[in-house]
Amino acid sequence: MVFAQYQNYRLRQLISMKNPQIPFGKENILTLLLMNPIHNVFPSRIDQTRINYSTTELQALVERDVVNCEIKSVFIATLEILQGEMAFLTKKYPSKQFHSGQRLLDPTWFGWTFQGGGRSSERSSVSAVQRNFQALVSSGIYSRLKMEMARNMWVGREPVSNDTIPTVAPLTMGGGIITIFMISAGLICLAIISFLIEGYNNRRLRKSKKFNRVKPNVLKIDCR
């Protein structure tokens, strides 16, 4: 729904361009490509004859299309809503990977204006409301609050499908771990027996070499 409104807004902007000779940027080309009729701007399971959809029902329909990896879906929203949606989908669907674009579509500036230039009606100085608000923005508190609001905007929301990763069954004493211990014990016993036999053979070999090397001492006496 939001994307349909965005398309209508962007199309009016492109039509109202005063100088059509100006080359289109990447954002304009992408907008025109997304306007191709082969791309459906409504959820695939929506009943367009029904007019009493609730926000929760429409949200569930959009979520089913986004998490369906068999089709390509594009979710377009404001930056705060997109961050909240990414946080929710990443947490609830750990087996799937979601990617967000690095560039913004049609970025615009926004700000705040204070009546009377932010000056107090009683004094000529700047009002405390404006000073405090400027402090919130310049210190980064305001942007941090917006991020936290986006993360907590879907508290209590349940996913439309179960995507839990199957846990590995723990090994018990009555299971396959007994076989592992038996094989390990058998290999250790064979290694000990082989070590003892090898040590006994080496000892006998050393004794035989010692006896072979001993020669009788012969004293030769010559009588003259």
Output the six-digit token pair for 13: 């902007």
Q: Is the pLDDT of residue 131 over 70?
A: yes
Rounded to the nearest angstrom, the gap between the alpha carbon of residue 115 and the centroid of all alpha carbons in its chain is: 44
Q: What is the pLDDT of residue 216?
A: 47
Rounded Cα distance between 191 and 182, Å, is 14
CB 65 within 8 A of CB 43: yes
pLDDT 10s digits, 50-61: 888 888 888 899
Q: Is the pLDDT of residue 5 over 70?
A: no
User: Secondary structure of the chain: what % helix, strand, coil (to 5)?
Assistant: 50, 0, 50
Q: What is the pLDDT of residue 224?
A: 46
**What's the mean pLDDT in 212-219?**
46
pLDDT band at 223 (very low <50, low <70, confident <90, very high): very low
Rounded Cα distance between 138 and 39, Å, is 42
Give the whole-number percent of the chain exceeding pLDDT 70.
Answer: 67
Dihedral (Cα; 112, 115, 117, 119), 10-degree rounding: -120
pLDDT 10s digits, 15-33: 666 555 555 667 677 777 7
Rounded Cα distance between 102 and 6, Å, is 19
Output the six-digit token pair for 32: 């025109």
Q: Is the pLDDT of residue 4 over 80?
A: no
What are the structural domain ranges in the chain?
Answer: 42-151, 168-215
Could you tell me the pTM of the whole model?
Answer: 0.54
pLDDT band at 157 (very low <50, low <70, confident <90, very high): confident
